[in-house]
A and B are shown apart, each in its own frame.
Chain A
């Protein structure tokens, strides 16, 4: 259970001093224990939130078919999301404990409330529509759209609010990665399923979102610096991220060139959606990698300590 195959050479083995001393190369912080359900949820929840905003925007300019597609996407999202979240719990029967407190210091608790309220609004809006209460339904769509952006970005705060090095240190840029992924996915849904005479805004959203995803991802990696950027360039995290980037680029190109062709448009939408999913898996995998190697914990903390000590020396000298 606790077997580690990793051992750093000790001073005794090499006669030299190891660069970053650690305890047999073992992790200092624990990697997250979430199953792939959670990465899927990050994508689905994020897309549902952005879809609710696009739904209202489409409604306002009379593109009702597109609005309906986006609303169905949001509804599907909130139906699947709790299943994924509950499946990941260690004690699924206690899922409701998420709502036994309202706790500002816990992004997961706030997120549970956001998801509950958002799901309630989208669900009630759909129900009202079935009953033929058009105005109530539209009003509830606006309520959902008010909560949607929070649903899309809170998961970035959730992962950044940990001791996982590449998550915490990317706290300023990660929400933009998640927002771009949500926007691109909502756009892709519109492009794939709405009638082509109504999906112009969805196409712009899909392509703009995919460009934003590439830009925000690059900004995040730059912000993380050479050391902490490593988990996004190597291993599983690196593979996911590289594939995601290639699919985004492919989606942008195909989406721009083939905008008059239904099949090409759907291909582009698939590429962009897959890129968004893989970006979430890249974040999950890179987080795990950065926790598993103690150098990502030790070296930034050492640097911080040294900087503080230099500052103290300066101010005292």
Chain B
């Protein structure tokens, strides 16, 4: 009997996550990304996700296009080139770092990456995008079946055997990450390689990344590392416009498990500048729905009053 009891206790421990792991996540440092897409391939391989077909978008080297139900890593390519820079490289007027910085700030778009390889041509931004594993996750909040759960690693995962493909998570996600798949009807997104994490392994994308642009680890430690990296870049003056995206726990999603070091505004990479979990407004939404319901009853009662049938 005692053996049976032990097993039940162990099972209970697993089910309730009493054995809490530290929160795991990604820090994606875009200054290190070389656009090799090894993360995309490793993710598809490990998670046995089908190819998206042969598509030519014409958008730089990005023929993946977006994250969706069967694409859980997506490398964005942003070409910020001066007009005619490739045709006839002309020497730019000499600029102090301060000048060029204020110029790129005021115009908000490409004036040319100053001290990169070709100072006159511009710059090429690459960013490997992924599910953010939000602290306040809209997809998880709105999921009507409880198929989306938070794991013991603090990540957000779709239980494929529970999801009935209602599609509510799709418009709820502030990042447009999760999507419904045609081929099996379920919703799909990055699991942070839940199966690998359970065995103490690194997620496939981070493992495959040759430049450590994708760094995996404890979120707390990654945040410290990201802060140090940002400080170093700013100190050295090479990437003075670098900023951390979703590292701050005070934002609309309570900070992300997967956050980024970016070199331009988030929207340039296809990311929302001020994302928020829609559920934060749910109380107000229901309150107004309550007023509308009262109005419905009031109007119907009023129409019936004083009537001769």
Interface residues of A, Cβ cutoff 8 Å to B = 1-4, 7, 10-12, 14-15, 17-18, 20-24, 26-34, 50, 53-54, 57-58, 60-63, 88-92, 94-95, 97-98, 100-101, 103, 105-109, 112, 149-150, 152-154, 156-158, 160-164, 167-168, 171-173, 175-176, 178-179, 182-183, 186-187, 197-198, 200-202, 204-205, 208-209, 212, 287, 291, 294, 297-298, 301-302, 304-305
Does B168 touch A at the CB level, under 8 Å? Answer: yes
Cβ–Cβ contact A205 & B296, under 8 A:
no
- Apart from the given pairs A23-B78, A105-B282, 6 other A-B contacts in the complex at a CB distance below 8 Å: A21-B108, A29-B175, A30-B176, A101-B145, A161-B285, A197-B309
Instruction: Name which residue of chain B comes closest to A110, CB basis.
Output: B144
B163: chain A residues within 8 A (beta carbon): 90-91, 94, 97
Does B128 touch A at the CB level, under 8 Å? Answer: no
* Interchain residue pairs with CB less than 8 A apart (27): A1-B55, A12-B81, A14-B83, A21-B109, A24-B62, A26-B65, A28-B267, A30-B176, A62-B309, A63-B309, A90-B166, A90-B185, A100-B162, A103-B144, A105-B141, A109-B144, A152-B296, A153-B293, A157-B289, A161-B278, A163-B176, A179-B296, A183-B300, A198-B309, A200-B309, A205-B299, A302-B267
Cβ–Cβ contact A302 & B273, under 8 A:
yes
**Which of B142, B185, B309 has a CB less than 8 Å from the CB of A108?**
B142
Q: Scoring B residues 53 to 66 as 1 if CB is less than 8 Å from chain A, else 0, what string do you get? A: 10111110011111
Cβ–Cβ contact B142 & A162, under 8 A:
yes
Cβ–Cβ contact A201 & B307, under 8 A:
yes
Closest chain B CB from A310 CB (angstroms)? 14
A297: chain B residues within 8 A (beta carbon): 272
Instruction: Name which residue of chain B comes closest to A17, CB basis.
Output: B109
Residue in B62, B63, B165 whose Cβ sees the most chain A Cβ within 10 Å = B165
B171: chain A residues within 8 A (beta carbon): 29-33, 162-164, 167, 287, 291
A171: chain B residues within 8 A (beta carbon): 281, 284-285, 288
A186: chain B residues within 8 A (beta carbon): 300
Please judge, given known A-B contacts A62-B309, A200-B308, whether A53 and B164 are in contact too, CB under 8 Å.
no
Please judge, given known A-B contacts A15-B83, A21-B265, A29-B174, whether A304 and B296 are in contact too, CB under 8 Å.
no
Measured in the bound complex, the distance between the Cα atoms of B272 and A31 in whole Å is: 15
Does B303 touch A at the CB level, under 8 Å? Answer: yes
Measured in the bound complex, the distance between the Cα atoms of B53 and A57 in whole Å is: 58
Measured in the bound complex, the distance between the Cα atoms of B56 and A152 in whole Å is: 45
* Total of A-B residue pairs, C-beta within 8 Å: 296
Cβ–Cβ contact B267 & A22, under 8 A:
yes
Does B52 touch A at the CB level, under 8 Å? Answer: yes
Residue in A101, A287, A305 whose Cβ sees the most chain B Cβ within 10 Å = A101
A179: chain B residues within 8 A (beta carbon): 292-293, 295-296
**Which of A20, A21, A162, A202 has a CB less than 8 Å from the CB of B172?**
A162
Cβ–Cβ contact B141 & A23, under 8 A:
no
Closest chain A CB from B157 CB (angstroms)? 16
Category for how many chain B residues contact A? 35 or more
Does B38 touch A at the CB level, under 8 Å? Answer: no
Please judge, given known A-B contacts A89-B166, A103-B144, A153-B293, whether A161 and B184 are in contact too, CB under 8 Å.
no
B57: chain A residues within 8 A (beta carbon): 2-4, 24
Cβ–Cβ contact B65 & A2, under 8 A:
yes
Within B64-81, which residues are at the interface with A (CB < 8 Å)?
64-66, 68, 71, 76, 78-81
Measured in the bound complex, the distance between the Cα atoms of B168 and A302 in whole Å is: 26
Closest chain A CB from B139 CB (angstroms)? 10
Cβ–Cβ contact A106 & B292, under 8 A:
no
**Which of B164, B286, B292 has a CB less than 8 Å from the CB of A90?**
B164
**Which of A27, A172, A204 has a CB less than 8 Å from the CB of B303?**
A204
Cβ–Cβ contact A301 & B272, under 8 A:
yes
Measured in the bound complex, the distance between the Cα atoms of B304 and A123 in whole Å is: 25
Closest chain A CB from B179 CB (angstroms)? 6
Instruction: Name which residue of chain B comes closest to A85, CB basis.
Output: B166
Please judge, given known A-B contacts A149-B293, A200-B308, A301-B273, whether A163 and B145 are in contact too, CB under 8 Å.
no
